[in-house]
Structure 1
Amino acid sequence: MTPRYSLSQIVLHWAVAVLVPIQYWTGGSIERTHHAVHMGLSPDPWDVIQHQIHNYAGIAIGALMVARLTLRIFDRGVLRISARGPVDRLAQAMHFAFYAAVIAQAAMGFVASYFWFGIGSFHVLGSRVILGLLALHIAAAAWHTFVWRDETVDRMIIPRRTSS
């Protein structure tokens, strides 16, 4: 049987998967809100709400990803990928690129929101990097499911059994 992820890893993965699209849907409100304020206008109330959703969801994503990375590093029961060949090494590199990009993105968003707005252009660039990684991630999941027909995607849906 193929090793599976723990329930905690699965819950953290899908929580981030739900929150990331929210970031893309609400991201435009940041520029609109700041532009209105700089022009001496009152921002649209819906933009202000979206701005807050974007900030707090970003903080949540950062915390969830740090928790996932911590589990992956320290939890002996969490699936460990042994890089046997080039495809395994690529998969491992992609996963850690995701961790790095998403955690860095959350950190840059936090800095841009509360300390220094000048980092905002790097935050926007980071969103494009994450979108590219996400496209590759979904393509790889589809490849595993429809071409190789293996259990790779099942591991992130069905938790491993706990020993009794």
Structure 2
Amino acid sequence: MRDGYRTSQIALHWLIAGLLPVQYLTGGSIERIHHAVHMGMQPSSFDVFQHQVHNYTGMAIGGLMGLRLLLRITRPPSPAASPMGAGLLAKALHFGFYAVIIAQATLGFVASYLTFSVAPLHVIGSNVILAMVALHFTAAAWHTLIRRDATLDRMILPRNDQTAT
């Protein structure tokens, strides 16, 4: 039996990973819109479009991450064969991703639809996520290029058992 994650968990991982850059590419539109409004100008229609993409993509990421957390709790991946310290760090980083990304989506929703006063926390959250993604990439590269183990395969090749979904 191949260890690792089920197909649904892998699909959610890569879908979320693909949507995160959208957030960084569209986030600047919000500042431009607020600046234009403060200056008494009409924001560009492209900035308004980007802002909407940013909001709806953020809500989708939050929902998908909540689903991914639920799947992780109800259908945990098979344990990785990693040293004890590294395994604990990986688990902490993964659960940190769930917490920070769900909190980020919640803060974005609150900033957009309830009160803009939480926007500075939303900006801090984006920087925290960026740092966590950099750490995640570094760990994946280390496992692949230095250790030459099958860690990356766990998130590419679905688990091979009767309940693979």
**TM range, smaller chain:** over 0.9
Task: Give, in angstroms, the shift of residue 81 of structure 1.
Answer: 5.7
Aligned to 1:86: 85
**Is this contact kept in 2: 1:10–1:156, CA < 8 A?**
yes
After superposition, residues 117-132 of structure 1 pair within 5 angstroms as 117-132=116-131
**Matched AA of 1:51:** H
**Is this contact kept in 2: 1:111–1:119, CA < 8 A?**
yes
**Is this contact kept in 2: 1:65–1:102, CA < 8 A?**
yes
3-state SS of 1:120 partner: helix
Aligned to 1:97: 96
Q: Distance in 2 between matches of 1:103 and 1:110?
A: 11
In structure 1, runs of 5+ residues without a counterpart are none
TM-score (norm 1): 0.93
Post-superposition CA distance 1:31-78 (Å, at most 9, x none): 1011112222110111111100000000000001000000001125x3
Q: Distance in 2 between matches of 1:83 and 1:73?
A: 20
Aligned to 1:147: 146
Aligned to 2:21: 21
**2:82 aligned with 1:59, yes or no?**
no
CA change 1:60–1:12 in 2 (3 A) is same
Give the 4+ runs in structure 1 shifted more than 4 A.
Answer: 80-84
Aligned to 2:32: 32
Structure possessing the higher relative contact order (Cα contacts under 8 Å, 6 or more residues apart):
2
CA change 1:36–1:83 in 2 (3 A) is same
Task: Give, in angstroms, the shift of residue 79 of structure 1.
Answer: 3.3
**Matched AA of 1:72:** R
Aligned length: 163
**Is this contact kept in 2: 1:72–1:80, CA < 8 A?**
no
In structure 2, runs of 5+ residues without a counterpart are none
Post-superposition CA distance 1:2-45 (Å, at most 9, x none): 51200000010000000000100000000101111222211011
Aligned to 2:111: 112
Cα RMSD (Å):
1.7
